[in-house]
Structure 1
Amino acid sequence: MRLRTALLAMTAMATAPSLAVAGTITGPYVNIGGGYNLVQTQHGRFSPTTQADGSESNSQTKSRYRHKNGFTGFGAAGWGFGNGLRAEVEGVYNYSEINHRRGTAVTGRTSGSDQAYGGFVNVLYDIDLARFGINAPVTPFVGVGAGYLWQHYNPITTSYSNGNVNRVGGTQGSFAYQGIVGAAYDIPHVPGLAVTTEYRFVGQTFADGPYQSTAWNRTGVHKGNVNFDHRFSHQFILGLRYAFDTAPPPPPPTPVMATPAPTVARTYLVFFDWDRANLTGRAREIVAQTAQASTHVQTTRIEVDGYTDNSAAHPGARGQRYNMGLSIRRAQSVKAELIRDGVPAAAIDIHGYGEAKPLVATGPNTREPQNRRVEIILK
């Protein structure tokens, strides 16, 4: 027990969990991004009084507006629940050029733009690839959002070949929704910082009659309404995200009396982030030291024992079963790293003990960094 305590004192600070990374976020985070905004062709229905196409017809006319280049930008603040789920509040701005209009009786040239601003509440889920045995600095995610956008049409002007002119403008707010697919890429040596890439599909509904249409022709000025159908956008975004760590740091090690240290340790400790089984850079260094030490001392077997703290994403017996499986996955990760470091697989025994045998006694459902560990014992 004294040897275990001494090893803990030497390695606790170096192997304690780092700041949250792009995988499973626990606690607050912020996110900004921007990119290309491609809006699908929209259909507008004009009231008869506007004579929007330059003709003398008194029937309602319809036109299709084609969008050209556009951009989008957003800022978000959210909270990760440690199990892959995240919730966030987002403010967004969209812009799109409008350069063509079809479906009119007379040809003409169209120019203008529109913009939208508002916000969404998003719910997202990070897919932890480590659960599938993939150790990569990338985490895919999916999500949905609902919110409200104010859509403003800057004057969209159509000048017809017969000299008539039509102009559309106005602002309206309406319900909006979005689907999100993306991935986060860890920034090396900067814990918590990640580059994100996303595709978003954004839809917006409109009520009838909010936009104004004005036509100038030989009979005078004609004003009325124009109604647009649903608006759909495809967005391709590059962003930057930073996750803050809310987990308390491990307590300082208990002072121990100085005792003669053996030349080579027989027991080594590797620590893990909460609900994770992948090895940190420091953990790989300790495993490499263990593999090297096994060649310098008389070793017949290497025992790899995995443990968890007593917190779990699920209550009761279900959580205990989950932690038992998590402790085995941690032991398997260490074994795989020992093999990569040259230790024969036949010389390694692994065991998972779940919540049993904690290093630090805690109350129920407590996240204790020092209990999330693997002990490597040279025998």
Structure 2
Amino acid sequence: MATSLLAATPFAAKATTITGPYVDIGGGYNLTQTQHMRDAEAEGGNGEGRLGHRHGWTGFGSVGWGFGNGLRAEVEGAYNWSEIYSKARGDKGSDRSYGGFVNVLYDIDLKRLFNIDVPVTPFVGVGAGYLWENMQKGAYSGGYQGGNGSSLKGTNGSFAYQGIVGAAYDIPGVPGLQMTTEYRMVGQVEDFGMGNIRADSGAAVRFDHRFNHQFIVGVRYAFNNAPPPPPPAPAVVPPAPTAARTYLVFFDWDGAALTGRSREIVAEAAQASTHVQTTRIEVNGYTDNTSAHPGPRGEKYNLGLSMRRADSVKAELIRDGVPANAIDIHGYGEAHPLVPTGPDTREPQNRRVEIILH
């Protein structure tokens, strides 16, 4: 038959393209066009006639492979039956054909190509193969011109081809299963090699090209139909911690009093703490490595001086509206200089308090 389609996916989801093996069966109505025929031994118009057809049916089965990109290839076995009818004489008979095709088909992914998300997949295809035709004794020839009617019988075969247009419909809740509807036009080259179909007179009968028009419904099952794994859940990335904001307040040598500019900086820090998510305010005091009390007492003196500077800044923050319990103060003396220097060096940038908003 011709077509295999996309492996079905659950209803109301995008149809997916077949990847791997599938099987396909179906059947339907077969309409054969009227054929012209003649005796192989006749001269001129003698022995010529028409072979008329009426109703018929067709059946097929195929196995195939989908390549995952819309293309499929399959091998098909087909059987066709047609009623032969002579309107002039009222005689009836039948013929049948059977054989196989190799088909190449393409499934049209509506979601990918046209952003149409429906459980339907149209397809097109072509096939080539060989059909044997058998005429039953009693099939009427339609009346030879210049002679009497004659019954036909015999079997012969010829090259055949077909064109396929159809669509597959996903079956809800049954992954891999689809219904199909399609139209096929089957052509058969019959003008050669048909000499073993003969009239009662024993004369070999030759036919012109044979065309079958077929309207088919079918069922297809794709074996590799497991739904694709769900996309991995997006990794939950915790928000990056807000970078701490630091404000620097500088002091005169050996001093802990705030200048006018220092008060402005403290006020900026207090205001910022109300506009950003602040969990803690750290106030750290420092000195340079000189001291008003040189000698062994100098380092201890500077440690105390750094605490006094931190206390001054804390008091100013409280005046600017920052809760006292939100402020942690530390004095580090000469440790952690902002600018590295040699010993006993007065460095203004090391005489500081850092206000850090966490």
For normalisation by structure 2, the TM-score amounts to 0.56
Match of 1:117 in 2: 98
1:174 and 1:122 map into 2 onto residues whose CA distance is 17
2:217 and 2:227 map into 1 onto residues whose CA distance is 32
Per-residue deviation, residues 46-65 of structure 1 (Å, max 9, x unmatched): 2457xxxxxxx996321111
Match of 1:241 in 2: 220
2:82 and 2:183 map into 1 onto residues whose CA distance is 17
1:42 and 1:59 map into 2 onto residues whose CA distance is 16
**1:63/1:30 CA distance change after superposition, 3 Å:** same
Within 5 Å, give how 1:170-319 maps onto structure 2: 170-206=154-190, 207-215=192-200, 222-245=201-224, 270-271=230-231
2:219 and 2:116 map into 1 onto residues whose CA distance is 23
**1:123/1:174 CA distance change after superposition, 3 Å:** same
Conserved 8 A contact 2:156-2:194: no
Match of 1:74 in 2: 60
| TM-fit CA distance, 1:125 | 0.4
1:193 and 1:34 map into 2 onto residues whose CA distance is 17
**1:192/1:35 CA distance change after superposition, 3 Å:** same
Alignment identity in percent? 60
114, 131, 143: which one pairs with 1:149? 131
Conserved 8 A contact 2:199-2:205: no
> Could you tell me which amino acid in structure 2 is paired with residue 114 of structure 1?
D
| TM-fit CA distance, 1:154 | 1.2
Per-residue deviation, residues 227-254 of structure 1 (Å, max 9, x unmatched): 011100100000000001177997xxxx
> Could you tell me which amino acid in structure 1 is paired with residue 111 of structure 2?
A
Within 5 Å, give how 1:98-113 maps onto structure 2: 98-100=84-86, 108-113=89-94
Conserved 8 A contact 1:114-1:153: yes
**1:123/1:212 CA distance change after superposition, 3 Å:** closer
4, 26, 29: which one pairs with 1:33? 26
| TM-fit CA distance, 1:225 | 0.8
Match of 2:341 in 1: none
SS at match of 1:169: strand
**1:39/1:209 CA distance change after superposition, 3 Å:** closer
1:71 and 1:119 map into 2 onto residues whose CA distance is 16
| TM-fit CA distance, 1:209 | 4.4
> Could you tell me which amino acid in structure 2 is paired with residue 183 of structure 1?
A
2:74 and 2:141 map into 1 onto residues whose CA distance is 41
Conserved 8 A contact 1:211-1:225: yes
2:142 and 2:8 map into 1 onto residues whose CA distance is 56
1:45 and 1:159 map into 2 onto residues whose CA distance is 11
Conserved 8 A contact 2:38-2:49: yes
1:120 and 1:39 map into 2 onto residues whose CA distance is 18
Are 2:75 and 1:85 equivalent residues in the alignment?
no
**1:164/1:178 CA distance change after superposition, 3 Å:** closer
SS at match of 2:111: helix
**1:271/1:214 CA distance change after superposition, 3 Å:** same
> Could you tell me which amino acid in structure 2 is paired with residue 119 of structure 1?
G
2:180 and 2:227 map into 1 onto residues whose CA distance is 27
**1:61/1:164 CA distance change after superposition, 3 Å:** closer
2:120 and 2:167 map into 1 onto residues whose CA distance is 7
Aligned length: 218
1:227 and 1:188 map into 2 onto residues whose CA distance is 50
SS at match of 2:224: coil
Conserved 8 A contact 1:23-1:138: no
> Could you tell me which amino acid in structure 2 is paired with residue 40 of structure 1?
Q
**1:209/1:248 CA distance change after superposition, 3 Å:** closer
| TM-fit CA distance, 1:108 | 2.8
1:29 and 1:178 map into 2 onto residues whose CA distance is 20
2:149 and 2:228 map into 1 onto residues whose CA distance is 68
Conserved 8 A contact 1:142-1:180: yes
2:100 and 2:82 map into 1 onto residues whose CA distance is 18
For normalisation by structure 1, the TM-score amounts to 0.53
Are 2:118 and 1:136 equivalent residues in the alignment?
yes
| TM-fit CA distance, 1:271 | 2.1
Over aligned residue pairs, what C-alpha RMSD do you find? Answer: 2.9
Per-residue deviation, residues 196-237 of structure 1 (Å, max 9, x unmatched): 00000000012144244334xxxxxx3211101110010000
Work out which of the two has the higher radius of gyration on C-alpha atoms and give 1 or 2.
2
1:138 and 1:204 map into 2 onto residues whose CA distance is 31
**1:247/1:108 CA distance change after superposition, 3 Å:** closer
1:35 and 1:249 map into 2 onto residues whose CA distance is 34
